[in-house]
Chain A
Amino acid sequence: MTLVTRNATPKRGIYRPSADLVPKVLAGSRPDIARMISRAEAGYDEASDALAALYRHAGRAHVIGVTGVPGGGKSSLISALIRAYSGDSHKVAVVAVDPSSPYSGGAILGDRIRMGDSAEAQQAFVRSMATRGHLGGLARATLQAVDVLDAAGYSPIFIETVGVGQDEVEVVTAAHTVVVLSPPGLGDDIQAIKAGVMEIADIHVVSKGDKPDAAATASALRGMMSLTPLGRPSEWETPILTLSVATGDGILDLKQCLDSHHAHLVTSGELALRQRSISRTRVLATLNHLLRREFDENTTNLAAHLQAVADRSSDPMTAALALLGLNRMEAKP
Chain B
Amino acid sequence: MTDYSPETTEKLRASLAEWEQDELAATLNIRPEDKTDYRTECGIPLKRIYTAADVADIPLEDIGFPGKFPFTRGPYPTMYRGRPWTIRQVAGFGNPESTNQRYKYMIETGQTGLSTDFDLPTLLGLDSDDPMAFGEVGRVGVSIDSIDDVDRLFDGIDLEKISVSLTINPSAWVIYAMFVASAERRGNDLTKLTGTLQADPLKEYVAQKEWIYPVRPAVRLLRDLIIYSTKTTPKINPISLSGYHLSDVGGNAIQEIAFTMAFTIAYCEEVIAAGMDIDDFAPRLSFFFISHQDFFEQICKFRAARRVYAKIMAERFSAKKAESMRLRVHVQTAAMSLTKMEHKNNLMRTAFQALGAVLGGCQSMHTNGLDEAFAIPTEEAMKLAIRTQQIIRDEINVTSVVDPLGGSYFVESLTSEMEREIWKVLDEVDRLGGAVKLVEDGWFQQKLADSAYQTFKLIDRGEKISVGVNRHVDANSAPAAVEIHPYDENCTTLQVSRLKELRENRDNSLVNDLLSDLKQQARTEQTNLLPKTIELVKARATLGEICSALREVWGAYDEPNIV
Contacts and interface: CB of A to CB of B under 8 A. Distances in A.
Direct contact of A and B (CB under 8 A): yes
B490 to A, nearest CB: 30
B489 interface: no
B562 interface: yes
Contact of A108 (B214, B555, B563): B563
Dominant SS among interface residues on chain A: mixed
B563 A110 contact: yes
Of B555, B559, B560, most A-chain CB atoms within 10 Å = B560
Given A110-B562, A113-B561, A114-B561, A246 B555 contact: yes
Contacts of B478: 1
Contacts of A71: 441-442
A182 interface: no
A76 interface: yes
A113 B214 contact: no
Contact of A246 (B214, B341, B561): B214
Nearest to A70: B561
B561 A75 contact: yes
A1 B555 CA distance: 45
A147 interface: no
Contacts of A114: 558-561
Contacts of A150: none
Contacts of B560: 113-114
A207 to B, nearest CB: 13
A110 B214 contact: no
Contacts, number: 23
Nearest to B475: A1
Dominant SS among interface residues on chain B: loop
A131 B18 CA distance: 60
Contacts of A246: 214, 555
Interface in B541-563: 555, 558-563
B199 to A, nearest CB: 24
A110 B341 contact: no
A1 B561 CA distance: 33
A111 interface: yes
Contacts of B469: 1
Contacts of A110: 561-563
A111 B561 contact: yes
Contact of B559 (A1, A111, A113): A113
Contacts of B479: 1
A326 B562 CA distance: 53
A1 B474 CA distance: 10
Interface in B421-471: 441-442, 469
Interface in A26-83: 71, 75-76, 79
A1 B558 CA distance: 38
Contacts of B561: 75, 110-111, 113-114
A76 B555 CA distance: 14
Interface string A95-124: 000000000000010110110000000000
Of A1, A108, A111, A114, most B-chain CB atoms within 10 Å = A1
Contacts of A111: 561
Nearest to A79: B558
Interface in B194-241: 214
A292 B171 CA distance: 60
Contacts of A79: 558
Nearest to B433: A185
16 contacts: A1-B469, A1-B478, A71-B441, A71-B442, A75-B561, A108-B563, A110-B561, A110-B562, A111-B561, A113-B559, A113-B560, A113-B561, A114-B558, A114-B559, A114-B560, A246-B555
Given A76-B558, A113-B560, A114-B560, 15 more contacts: A1-B341, A1-B479, A71-B442, A75-B561, A79-B558, A108-B563, A110-B561, A110-B562, A110-B563, A111-B561, A113-B559, A113-B561, A114-B558, A246-B214, A246-B555
Interface of A: 1, 71, 75-76, 79, 108, 110-111, 113-114, 246
